[in-house]
Each structure stands twice: as structure tokens, then as C-alpha cells.
Structure 1
Amino acid sequence: MPAPHDRNHSPALLIIEDDDTIGRHLDTGLRAHGYATTWCRTGNGGLQAARTAPPEIILLDLGLPDADGIDIARELRSRHPDLLLVILTARNEEIDIIAGLDAGADDYLVKPFALSVLLARLRAHLRRLPPGHDDQETVHRIGALVVDTRARTCLLGGAEVALRPKEFDLLAVLAEHAGTAVSREDLMARVWDENWFGPTKTLDVTLASLRRRLAQSAAQSVPPADPPSISTLRGFGYRLESEHGISERP
């Protein structure tokens, strides 16, 4: 199963959730993070959607209007043994959680939950897939910029750019999502820790330093090489553009 940050692939994700507010939030948020989502509001509708176009990931609400979510989970697992199945539930009793896992779920989230936590859980599961399922690219080329996540190298116009570890990690996430908006919460979870509770000012300082280093490298490059710009999306996060230009200050 390809990773969600492979820009050449959008993992097919089926949401089975009857609550309009939660369903819309998941549909919009996951699409913004590179998933190809389908949203069904009933259990039987979800089963039909999975039969018509088998997804790679399913988010399943247990409290459905037409069927027991546990029964839907069992049927989905029997029909699609290789998919990633995550249960979403307002039931926080241990017996309900155990029943969901026994029915074939890979994980569960108790409502309410943050989108950033769900994204981190999905990434963690995708990283654990066995070899041969992960087609994740390790080299990302955006204009004159080349980021190799396996070798941990950053080249601009063929010359290596010296980056601190967190600067490289931040650039790697942005490069994986090049052309796509990445939220502050997702960047904090990916670069620092999904349970980070410190000030997000750390992100701003690291981003500013990364911009300076790219600009300095561009100025020293012979012939000149322009890095893609890193745009600030006020109130949301950042986006690494595919066009030329140094940067946009926060």
C-alpha cells in the first residue's frame, strides 16, 4: 500500500460515518492531506462502496443508523483482508474496544479526536506495512531542489545544502507534500512528536532558519539556482511550491 505522502498516489480511503459534522471534517481534512476519500453515511452503503471500488483504508463509525458497526467490521475484514481498518467510536468502554479489535479492526479512536492524531496513526500503520507494500519515494525533486530522505541529503542546483536535523526533517515533510498545504499540527507531529505539547513557535523558528539556509545556498550557487518557495498559509500551515522563488516570510 503506498504511503499517503507519495505525491504520485492518493490512497483510497473510505469513511463510513453518519454524523454530518464529523464526516465532513474527515472528508475535507483527509483530502487536504493527500487521501482520495469516499464518504458513506450508512453501513450498507459503505459495504456497497467497498465492493464497487475496494479501498486501501476504511474509517468505520460503530454507531451507524442501519447496522451494527461490529457486524460491518467483520464483513469488511472477511471481504478485504489486506485493508487498513480503523474504528471510530464514542464508546470508550474496554469491552467495546476489544469487540472492535476482535472483529478485525487494526486500530480505534475514541471520539472526539484531533485530525492530527488520526493522521499520525495512519502514518504509523502505513510505515509498518511489510516490504513490497510501501512504494514511498525517497528522492523528491522540486525544480532545482533535490531532497533524498534515505540519504538525508539536500541538493540545490547540484550543491549540497547544510541543514540541521530538524531543518532537514521539516523540509522532507514539505517536499513529500510539495504543492499541498500541510497544517502546523501535522508538521509538529511529523517533525517533533505526535504528542508534542510545547509552543508551536519552535516550528516558526525552524522554518525561518530553513528559508535562510536555502536562500544563502541559492545566492552562492554557480550558476544561480532558485529553490521552490515555502508559502505561509496564515491560520493553517505551510506549502512548498513547485514554482521558483526564495520564500515568503511569515
Structure 2
Amino acid sequence: MRIASVEDDTSQAEQICQLLDEAGFECSSFATGSAFLRALRDQAFDLVVMDWQLPDVSGYELVSWVRQHSGRLPPILFLTSRIEESDIVAGLSVGADDYLAKPIRPGEFVARVRALLRRAYPKTLHEDDLIRQGAYIVDARRRVIALDGQNVDLSPREFDLALFLFRNIGRLLARDVIEQAVWGRAMDAASRTLDTHMSRLRIKLALRPENGVRLASVYSHGYRFEATAAHE
């Protein structure tokens, strides 16, 4: 799973990513709030580890922005030296899911991260890690999709959308449900973002009946992604 660390102290940022990498997660580190926000334009993260004091914007403001634009997910863990009760209350009230004081205690830090992920994605860490359908193998943990044994090059957002489709195969999916799950918000009715991403997936993943799936647009509602005859 992909975790963003927003931390301006170089040594602490390295420690955070090292601990997460050793625990089996993929960590991306950002030294400023603006760098993190730029990354959110085309990347999706499963959890955010947030420092409070940053050189350009406060972690408090960043958490508020993420919650306003992305909804309940991703879970956010404040990791900060600000440990007054008023700070903890403010951090949790603005939208953080947990609060951990520095200095980092490695065992507790990793345990808190795992606990937040289990609560936020109860299926992702268990039976849905590997999905097989027709000619496809979807590896949620490694964030890889293989078609006939060959990994397909997808952007982070394309992978998130494809994973959502494969996890909901056979269901009629409303546009706003897909947008909320993948982008964290329902988009304007005139937006073509979802349709553009669906078109790219259809081409990149060769979403055709001969490969074991069918992607169909349902007028005025959304999409249906369904299984077809077994891939030979």
C-alpha cells in the first residue's frame, strides 16, 4: 500500500520511510505541504503521515484541505512534537484519525499505521490482495496488474480505478460512487475525467470479452464491469 510522509526534517523523513519500507509499504516523502498537494493531483495514497510544523503551511491546514477535497479517505496520522492536549484535540477535530508524539518509537509507529489501514480498508489487507479474473491478475499489495502474464504500465490513478472495478465486478456502479472511491469526491456533472480514465483503461488493459471481462457504459448512470466466458 502507498503511504505519503509529509516531513521536513531530513533524518526523520528517512527514518519514517525506512520503517515503512521494512514493514512492506511503499513510502513517498514530501518536505513541504505544497509538494504534497502537487503530488495529489495525479497520485493516490492509502495513508498519510503528517507533521504539524512545516516550512510553508501547517499540517493542520493540510489535513483540513485533504478532508474537504478527499472525504473520509485516506486515513491521516499526525506525527509531531506538539503534544499538548489542545493540539491533540485540534488535530483530531480537523480530520486526523490518530495522533502520535515524537520522538518516533518504531514498533508503536508501525503498529499504529497497520491499525489505521485495517480500519480504513478491511478487505484490502486480507482476501482481496490477489484477484484473478480471465486473463488478468490484480495484485493489490504490489499495485500491479498483469494481462496474460505481462505487467501493464498504469498511472497510480489508473491502477486505483482498475482495482475498484475488479473488486466490484458484476455490479452496476454509479458515476458518483466511482468518483468518490477513486478521487475522494464526486465531480461536476460536466467533467469528463472519469470517462477519460475509463477509455484509457479499456485500451491499456484490453478490456474485452475474449480476455474475460466486459466494461459497459450505462447511459445516465455509470458503468458496469462484468465477467464473460472464461479466458482460454
TM-score, normalised by the number of residues in structure 1? 0.48
C-alpha change, 1:137 and 1:93, in structure 2 (3 Å) is same
CA contact (8 A) 1:29 1:115 kept: yes
CA distance in 2, matches of 1:88, 1:111: 6
Counterpart of 1:77 (choices 64, 67, 70) is 67
Q: How does 1:119-198 map to 2 (within 5 A)?
A: 119-129=110-120, 133-137=123-127
Counterpart AA for 2:101: V
Identical pairs, percent: 33
C-alpha change, 1:66 and 1:137, in structure 2 (3 Å) is same
Matched, 1:86 2:74: no
CA distance in 1, matches of 2:35, 2:41: 10
C-alpha change, 1:98 and 1:32, in structure 2 (3 Å) is same
Counterpart of 2:35 (choices 45, 54, 59) is 45
Corresponding residue for residue 3 of structure 2: 13
Corresponding residue for residue 86 of structure 2: 95
SS state of the match for residue 26, structure 1?
helix
Q: How many residues are paired up?
A: 129
Per-residue CA shift, 1:188-245, capped at 9, x if unaligned?
xxxxxxxxxxxxxxxxxxxxxxxxxxxxxxxxxxxxxxxxxxxxxxxxxxxxxxxxxx
Per-residue CA shift, 1:125-184, capped at 9, x if unaligned?
2232465x43514999xxxxxxxxxxxxxxxxxxxxxxxxxxxxxxxxxxxxxxxxxxxx
CA distance in 2, matches of 1:58, 1:50: 11
Q: What are the ranges of 5 or more consecutive residues in structure 2 without an aligned counterpart?
A: 131-232
Pairwise CA distance, 1:68: 1.5
Matched, 1:118 2:109: yes
CA distance in 1, matches of 2:91, 2:3: 19
Pairwise CA distance, 1:118: 1.1
Alpha-carbon RMSD: 2.1
CA distance in 2, matches of 1:139, 1:57: 17
CA distance in 1, matches of 2:106, 2:43: 25
C-alpha change, 1:135 and 1:124, in structure 2 (3 Å) is closer
Larger Rg computed on CA atoms: 1
Per-residue CA shift, 1:46-72, capped at 9, x if unaligned?
111122202010001001010121111
Corresponding residue for residue 207 of structure 1: none
Displacement over 6 Å in runs of 4+:
none
C-alpha change, 1:92 and 1:27, in structure 2 (3 Å) is same
C-alpha change, 1:109 and 1:135, in structure 2 (3 Å) is closer
TM-score, normalised by the number of residues in structure 2? 0.52
CA contact (8 A) 1:17 1:41 kept: yes
Corresponding residue for residue 44 of structure 2: 54
